[in-house]
Amino acid sequence: MIRTSDNPTSSDSVDFSVAFSENVLGIDFSDFPLITDGISGASINAIMCLGNTCTVIVSTGMGSGTLRLDVIDDDTITDIYGNKLGGTGIGNGSFTTGEAYTVDKPATPTPTQTPTATGTPTVTPTPTSTATPTPTPTNTPILSTSTGYLPPSANAAIKIGSGDNNGYQTNPANAYTDNATFAVDTDSGTGTSTTYTSPQKDRHIFYDYNFNIPTGAVIQGIQVRLDAKVDATNGSPQIYVELSWDGGTTWTIALATANLSKNEVTYTLGGTANTWGRTWSAADFSNANFRARVIDVASNTSRDFSLDYIAVNVTYRP
């Protein structure tokens, strides 16, 4: 468990690199508790795993202090053969001695007042008036806010150059609600390529998120939440997501989940300080413009991908 961002830091987010002895399955947010001292509101934004190494992106919250990431073994992390981390038994694979960040964020400025002017004595017995203290204007920082996670209300399969050309062919609207009912992409894809740009891969677009972001807002980060599972783990199944700001003509870089599990897991892609490689405006999030494209990738065309929920949260400064 090592730091991979600058330390000390004043950044809104930092990265930890977690290396296991071999490829693992079953990773989720609950496996990584945050240990803080002097900091409030720290949270995990995303987990991205490649091979035996996971990158955990963490929001540093508010205040100054220290921030460490631990691994808690609750017997849900296994290798590809089902062997549990540290062996069977809760806690025997936990790791709590990793590197910590020192977070040093400037304190919020407080208003000040000008000194009170004193009266000037005169030769007459009548005292002069005392000047009234005048508060000195200060700049109050504008705090960030967010839309909260919003679901789509429309969807469409990509029917050209996208695997079976039917996307999530069964109940795609089930992905609008987090309720353990699934949109399903059965026997996904037409080939074994593990490249998300391959025309062998099934794709599906979700849109009409009904954002209400004020004109002129500064977009600071975008998070995409996916609640998903797969019928079997053979073929290293993953979901990639791209975003569009012009109705699907142009797309961002793609971000990917860790390898999916047979059990439903929540994956968060992006972060409160991650803009997916571009600068956004409020207008980019109108229903006419914003799109999220889901791409199912595995080296096995027998995989069934199940998507319970897809939602998007935008962090911005008004």
- pLDDT confidence of residue 82: 83
β-strand pairing of 24-25 with 34-37? unpaired
Among 155, 175, 131, smallest CA distance to 264 is for: 175
- Which structure tokens are listed for 20? 């296991």
- pLDDT confidence of residue 237: 97
- pLDDT confidence of residue 141: 57
Q: What distances in angstroms separate CA 317 from CA 102, 141, 195, 218, 281, one per listed residue? A: 25, 10, 35, 5, 11
Residue ranges covered by each domain of the chain: 2-103, 145-317
- Are the C-beta atoms of residues 166 and 278 closer than 8 Å to each other? no
Assign a CATH topology to domain 145-317: Jelly Rolls (2.60.120)
Per-position pLDDT tens, the chain of length 318 = 899 999 999 999 999 999 988 888 888 888 899 999 999 888 998 887 777 888 899 999 889 999 999 998 988 888 877 888 988 988 888 999 999 999 998 765 555 555 555 555 555 555 555 555 555 555 555 578 999 999 999 999 999 999 999 999 999 999 999 999 999 999 999 999 999 999 999 999 999 999 999 999 999 999 999 999 999 999 999 999 999 999 999 999 999 999 999 999 999 999 999 999 999 999 999 999 999 999 999 999 999 999 999 999 999 999
CA distance 166 to 203: 8
The answer to whether the peptide bond before residue 8 is cis (omega within 30 degrees of 0) is yes
- Which structure tokens are listed for 313? 């949260």
Q: What is the Cβ-side half-sphere exposure of residue 12, based on CA atoms within 13 angstroms? A: 11
Instruction: Tokens 């889901």: give the residue.
Output: 294
CA-based Rg of the chain, rounded to a whole angstrom? 25
